[in-house]
Amino acid sequence: MLVLGVTTFAFMVCFVVWMMFGVLGIPLREEMGLNSAEFGLLSATPVLSGALLRLPLGMWTDRFGGRTVMTLLLLVCAVPVYAVSYAQAFWQFLAIGLVLGIVGASFAVGTPYVARLFPPEKRGFAMGVFGAGTVGAAVNLFITPSLQEALGWRAVPRIYAISLVITAVVFWFGSVRDPGTGAGTAAASRPFAVLRDARVWRYCQYYSICFGGFTALSLWIPQYMMAEYHYPIVLASAMAAGFTLPGAVLRAAGGMLADRFGAHAITWWGLWVAWVCLFVLSYPDTVFTINTINGPRSFAIHVPPSLFIVLLFILGTVFAFGMASTFKYVADDFPQNMGIVTGIVGLAGGVGGFLLPVLFGAALDLTGIRSSTFMLLYGIVWISLILLYQSNVRHMRITGQMEG
């Protein structure tokens, strides 16, 4: 359990750093006069590189072991994180963001590492506990605004760079040799062979909405609440934790539920709950007038802050369950190639997390409607449910009828 604890801690620190532009980007947006699309690009750039590098890092984890790869990742990433404090121009932030985004690929290192340390019947729980390191998104929302206000935003990346080095030392002495080291050598010679398996593509689709949606909203919600409800940055970030905390802490619970009820059931019903929440969140502030028999009558529709936070809490919970259930699928179906498949699926989720904030900003600039963020996610979840029905639910019903 010590190994699981230090690995989860290392992933949490990585996630704090990975998400920091979601908060640091707010003063930078004002300082550099960025529009919504540019802000989305700035906050999501680290997510892109973190996604693209999950596949090679997953392969290296199979070959060289999670202990070695995670330690090197923490040490190497401290350099670009520190460099953020010296950036001046927008392109410099984007370039450095691409490099520091490597910390986001730590997920593809830790997931196969901890899974190989536990028996199959406990892997869902173990991966859920490790996945709870995404609580770093909430830690970022609490710590970064406070450090920023107290010390200035340029002090924040310097503190986080030092934290990465300290974490590397703690992880190395608290971890053990990966029992699967070298197991992926044969698979590494043909890493894309698994792409011929339709299950991999399905898992990519599930994870792109659960993890991609979680990551994108973690970056987007603070500035959304500042604009929609006129909260100061510290309060807006704290309220946004109503989404990020359950999305992280309850991931272990999602893993346990997937162990007990199966990955499919958790994914299917979780997406239905997300669809309902996003339907309500999608509705923009509206005032409309109806001609009644007693004359015109006006009605107003508005999502108050209290309801907004409750819906975010529920949405974060089901996204957490979906993230855990997806990797329960992976652990059950690809035990020998977990690093590679984790990298591919994680890449899909990370790409979703990169594209969505950019699309959020573009939709806002195009429509002028803030809730267009949730309209976009609503449509994506609806498509995901259709695809999930076609690939799993309908197939299971047809198979059951044939066997009957």
What is the CATH code of the structural domain delimited by 2-176+196-403? 1.20.1250.20
- Contacts made by residues 272-275, CB under 8 angstroms, sequence distance 24+: 272/385, 273/314, 273/318, 274/209, 274/213, 274/315, 274/318, 274/319, 274/322, 274/381, 275/378, 275/381, 275/382, 275/385
Burial category of 17 from C-beta neighbours within 10 Å (exposed 0-12, middle 13-18, buried 19 and up)? buried
pLDDT at residue 167 in the model? 94
> And the tokens for 151?
């010390």
pLDDT of amino acid 226: 87
Task: Say what angle helices 21-32 and 36-52 make with each other, to 10 degrees.
Answer: 140
d(CA 72, CA 282): 42
Query: Chunked in runs of 10, what are the mean pLDDT values of the chain (404 residues)?
Result: 88 89 83 84 84 81 86 93 90 89 86 80 76 80 86 91 95 84 54 73 84 84 87 82 74 77 82 93 87 86 89 89 81 73 79 85 88 91 82 55 40
Give the span between the Cα atoms of 172 and 100, in whole angstroms. Answer: 21
The domains of the chain are located at: 2-176+196-403
pLDDT at 191: 55
Token representation of residue 320: 């957490």
Burial class (CB in 10 A: 0-12, 13-18, 19+), 247: buried
